[in-house]
Amino acid sequence: MSDFTSLAAEAAEWTEYAKTWSPPVPPAGATPQQIREGANRNTAKLFDTVVGRPEAGLTVTEYTVAVTESLMETETKEEVTIPVRLYRPEGTTDNATLPVYVFFHGGGYFLGSLDTEDANCRYLALQTGVAVLNVGYRHTPEHRFPAAADDAWAAFQWVASEEAAKLGLDARRVVVGGISAGATLAISVALRANEKQQKVAGLVLTVPATVHPDHFPVQLIQGGIDNSSLVQNADAPFINAARLRGFLNMYEPTPPTHAAVSPLLVDESAFRGLGSVAVHVAGRDPLRDEGLLFEQKLRAAGVATTLYTYAGLPHAFMSHPTLPSTAVWRSRMWEDVKRIAGQ
């Protein structure tokens, strides 16, 4: 059994940062759509202002990906399209093929957009020499499970399409990753690819959600549920117990043990043969233990893993670009992508 409680003590950098920051409060009576639009707009503005939005050295192009009936698990076979944004670093020859990092943003399946991730995706492509595909999957409350997972799979399949090959993307070197719910989507893609013998080069997972809280494997934690991060960090910033439940209530995963929601419950044999995986876990996060337990499961399955822990920091610390640990995370994540893509 594991005990990860020592990672929760608040980090000094967060204590100082919290003196100047307070969580945004949505306007009274705002609809979910208004809340989402306001939050996304503020996030995009923050990163554009603090991180910057480099233009030179990149070709940035918008595409649409068809989520066809054959790619869906949902019973409603309404075919849809989703937007994706491709960032290709310049300086390569016209016929050169590039590895691809397929990226899924976080936000509890509710928040996030192509624009909230734009600055980070631009830097990622420039720093790694890897093409980056920023995926605009569908969100709650309009679209519930498994819409986001279907979209994630469709984006991965698009990278292997003739259209993507003409763009110089190498379907043999595809790294998949994301943040929070986006990391969960990345895992779902890898599992599905493994099942279909397609494979991914590897995964880059930041604060992943790997199990529905109703099915958390308490037997794996020393002291049981009361000693788990779900309880220890129930009142943490960004994602607390109530907000986590709210996101899942909107997503309505059925069943909650589905592999696309609770990959921690999947038999380890399903992960065998998976490429290298990097896992970034925050210590003051309700999702901390499931991220650490997931990394243990991967190692038990013979997967090569790299684990990073950020003691005393809350779930979405990397969404605050002035934090010192955000710069550390970003640098490590760039190296993860380069290493796994073979750059």
What is the predicted pLDDT for the residue at 69? 65
Q: How confident is the model at residue 68 (pLDDT cuts 50, 70, 90)?
A: confident
What is the predicted pLDDT for the residue at 47? 87
What is the predicted pLDDT for the residue at 21? 87
- Taking residues 253-279, report their average pLDDT: 96
CATH number of 5-20+52-341: 3.40.50.1820
Q: How confident is the model at residue 27 (pLDDT cuts 50, 70, 90)?
A: confident
C-alpha Rg value of the chain to the nearest Å: 19
Place of tokens 């969100």: 139
> What positions carry a catalytic annotation?
180, 285, 315
- The per-residue pLDDT for range 171-210, each reduced to its tens digit, is 999 999 999 999 999 999 999 999 998 989 999 999 999 9
CA 249 vs CA 140, 145, 235, 244, 268: distances in Å? 10, 10, 18, 9, 28
Kindly tell me if the per-residue pLDDT of 77 is higher than 80. no
What is the predicted pLDDT for the residue at 92? 58
- The per-residue pLDDT for range 111-166, each reduced to its tens digit, is 999 999 999 999 999 999 999 999 999 999 999 999 999 999 999 999 989 888 99
What is the predicted pLDDT for the residue at 72? 61
Kindly tell me if the per-residue pLDDT of 78 is higher than 80. no
Reading across the β-sheet that carries 169-179, which strands appear in turn? 58-67, 80-89, 131-135, 98-104, 169-179, 202-206, 276-282, 305-310
State the chain's mean pLDDT as an integer. 93
Give Cα 321 to chain centroid, integer Å. Answer: 17
* Rounded Cα distance, 4 and 222, in Å: 9
What is the predicted pLDDT for the residue at 279? 98
* Rounded Cα distance, 315 and 107, in Å: 11
Kindly tell me if the per-residue pLDDT of 276 is higher than 70. yes
- Taking residues 236-254, report their average pLDDT: 95
What is the predicted pLDDT for the residue at 95? 59
